[in-house]
Amino acid sequence: MSTTELYAIGNAPVDILARVEDTFLLDHHFAKGECSYIELEFLRAVKTQLKAPVYAPGGSAANTASCFSSLGGDAVFTGKTGTDECGTIFRDSLAREQVSYISDGLYAEEETAQILALTTKDTERTFAAYYGASRHISTKDIDKTRLQKSRITFLDAYMLEALKGEDTLVSAAAMAKEAGGRVAFTLADSSIIRDNGQAVEHILRHTHILFGNAREAMAVTGEADEHKAIEKLAGRFELGAITLGARGACVFSGKQIHYAPALTPPKPIVDTNGAGDHYCAGFLYGMNREFPLEKCAQLALLCAAQAITHTGARPAKSLKPLLESVKNGEKALNRS
């Protein structure tokens, strides 16, 4: 079996995208900019109140695998879906995006995970997650041979909400390290860190490459200042990237820290859903091809800027043209 570039493990949901007012978030007790966790009946009730919702495949790790494939990389994804229509939508999307889907089987007792991705006028996104079938992922779903032949194992912290999430992620990380691969971990959301602090720390002990945003960096380090938080993370991990929203991102290699400003997107901003996943994919693709740190950051930002110009967290078109921009040292997206 040939080597796989990226083996991603995470939730397997369908996103339900809708625009809402801030009052909608308050009325439903959704913390703006974070992820709330809901049950099926509540999800169904909220969906009836949404105007023109759009259904699109999502999931942080699956999105990252999709973007990685769009750049021309080889990616596989392990998750758990149900036997319902949303499960079919999710699996079919990965097939179209040339990402191999690996699982021990479908879970018939609960519906496929669904995530409300609610965007307010300021383009901030707020999530409300029903995990459903994704809650039942386990180590049985992982193709151990394929994982151990992968260069990078990408783990999604959202999966810590699964019943056996911590065990699955830690086992995958241990298998990857034993085989000489690198483990990448995305912090996902500050609520995950608050609610699963010990589990997050357990996985961080196995992590080579860390991803997160400024809020998550402060949450995981306990620092109230983002610069101090980034310095602390740079001193701990081999590689990493912390996104800073409209201010761009910070990447680090050991104690070398590089700040990169955000790029102007080629079209108006539609929503920010999926920008972080695009960023992870761009960074990992560049790293896997031994780009200099600054080039990894540039490709990541180009991918993220592309993500916010359309609805949905997966690429709307091929990301391969962005590679030419990086090769030529361009900072704009006028050729993408």
Q: Domain spans of the chain?
A: 4-13+61-109+138-327
Distance of CA 153 to the CA centre of its chain: 13
Q: What mean pLDDT value characterizes the chain? A: 92
Choose between 203 and 327: higher pLDDT: 203
Listed in sequence order, the residues at least 6 apart from 168 whose beta carbon sits closer than 8 Å to its beta carbon are 9, 137, 138, 139, 141, 142, 159, 162
Count of Cβ atoms closer than 10 Å to residue 207 Cβ: 22
141 CB-contact burial (10 Å; exposed 0-12 / middle 13-18 / buried 19+): buried
Choose between 214 and 272: higher pLDDT: 214
| Beta pairing partners, 242 | 212, 250
Question: What mean pLDDT is predicted for residues 241-252?
Answer: 90
Residue of 95, 33, 288, 297 whose CA lies nearest to 184: 288
Question: What mean pLDDT is predicted for residues 263-274?
Answer: 77
Q: Is the pLDDT of residue 179 over 80?
A: yes
Highest mean pLDDT among 51-55, 95-99, 126-130: 95-99
Question: What mean pLDDT is predicted for residues 212-235?
Answer: 95
Element (H, E) at 257: strand 256-260
Which superfamily does 4-13+61-109+138-327 belong to? Answer: Ribokinase (3.40.1190.20)
* pLDDT tens digits for range 105-136: 999 999 999 999 999 998 888 999 999 999 99
Task: Categorize the per-residue pLDDT at 328 as very low, low, confident or very high, splitting at 50, 70 and 90.
Answer: confident
Element (H, E) at 91: helix 85-96
Task: Categorize the per-residue pLDDT at 35 as very low, low, confident or very high, splitting at 50, 70 and 90.
Answer: confident
Q: Is the pLDDT of residue 224 over 80?
A: yes
DSSP 15: E
Q: Is the pLDDT of residue 331 over 70?
A: no
Count of Cβ atoms closer than 10 Å to residue 174 Cβ: 12
Per-residue b/e over 70-101, b at no fewer than 16 CB within 10 Å?
Answer: bbebbbbbbbbbbbbebbeebbebbeebebbb
Looking up tokens 């995006």, which residue turns up?
97
Please give the pLDDT value at position 189.
85
Task: Categorize the per-residue pLDDT at 335 as very low, low, confident or very high, splitting at 50, 70 and 90.
Answer: very low
Two tokens, residue 176: 């990857």
Q: Is the pLDDT of residue 160 over 90?
A: yes
